[in-house]
Structure 1
């Protein structure tokens, strides 16, 4: 059976649904999103810094270590990126470097905020923040690949579909936030490849074991939830270390932004004596953390709308919604709130368009009214 690519829209966002054999599907995805892949690649602000970095002996050696580890540990995900590059008609090495940008010790900006809740209902909520140039480029992508559980993600064309909000056919949901790592793990694979491989984890415990045993060279925080059990966990992965915090009804709310909260040692760039720019981004993440720390749910059990308002209701200092104004370089491109207990998900685009649908439909690429 061949590849089928279907296009629809949700909350003002383009939504691609791709089904078929794995490699063929990624090649077709590249062909379908060719213009977007090229625009995102050419407009990536870290591009020149990355090229300068790998132009040094130290940078080239670090890149070589990460490339070898990634190719050896994640050959299937490596082949996906190769097929995506083929379909888009872009150089594989360029896409690979972009996908490894957080694994080489260079700056990767800041952005994104997560909330989890464990009470009568369990929630995972995620703000996906990015450069204004990516407004209209970030899209939803559903992959229904032969022999694999379906998955729906927020997708930046040209990247492995792995580094933002994710919902899987195994009933797992998570948001991902960048964590800067000054000293990437020797032997660690690219963090996008680690996250993409985790999408086939059958349970929350299997996903957490994946993070513990397959460390990425760079750092991510994950806000994970499991529909079957209602368990919700924040996992920090950085410097080869993993820290887990599971929310419980006694303390139901937990948050994460772009700085370390739970790992005991200072692994990120800001604490490693980095540039003033990195320190500024670190402070901005701390400020978003303070805004989330001040949240107080109305009554014993908040709704999905409460989480949506918590993430989009106001910018700093009272909230975490990003508007690319007042000196902030980023904007909130998409917000997703999953009620794991009620099988519902809310999705809001940049212009406030909001859609609600069953989470199980969202995972399989079924839009409201389809």
Structure 2
């Protein structure tokens, strides 16, 4: 038993684990730096958000370890429960949720605020992976069928619609692009993907035309094209974020010394705009370090997806990478002014229990898949080539051996 445990530990992706631990450690420092001078936010308690973020990270790490210790095939069995739990949470938001910054995205449970849409991202990814894995079992042909694509889209559509009704445009965009990437990773034909992209554009146009989006959300997109249109309103965040990052220069002003952070000019700096703290206080060097660490997480995740011998694990790993990569690009892009402000947190860095826990649960699943993968090299076959492909090769080898002895 002891040898088995040690062998399992040695197979854990230490590079991925190390990058994640550095990121969450930096998260605690950046959140503290963004709030330590904000008396109106902290009520005069300079360590309030430091303690809260330490708790968020600690809970997330404990849950991550629990997922790593659980065989991802058990996670596959529990996926329907996770998915239904996410749906229930999103419905509760619409019924009894709290409205913050124009979006009804939080459920208040005593002193704790939960954002079900963050956990729904992971639920959608593993639910799509489960649908594909279940439908492909017993199938000899390694090709995604139209029925597979329709089933995966239907599974993803329910939470996406519920998130859009909040309305949480940023999370809706992240979920939509993630679903598209999961379908691509599953091997969906390109012509179908092109049709889905066109359908998505048509749907976005319809959403805008029918007034589903709030006025402030439309103003955010207008400010993205030209921040000077409303410098004290929708364009204010973009301008202040650019100023903060520009003030950092090459090496930054020093941790806890950022002038914009100290003055509180950047709204929501500890959550959606946490990257401006990095840019202002650690400069270009620190920003590249953080982006590099996120890149390492994505690279190791793709490597895990390529090496796993289980279809559910492969699609789930690819989906997690898509989700974390898309959301990171969106968040950093809006801080730099190259993406519209949509209010999504930076995974593994922004303040928030729901976001941190969801990201660390996803990392735990990646680490668990990696530790239990029996492949030693990259598999260049199609996404549906699971254990049955290897079984067919073994059967062919046995038949060849029998034929040789008969001769």
TM, length-normalised to structure 1 = 0.31
TM, length-normalised to structure 2 = 0.29
Higher strand proportion, which one? Answer: 1
Question: Which has the bigger relative contact order, CA under 8 A and spacing at least 6?
Answer: 2
Higher helix proportion, which one? Answer: 2
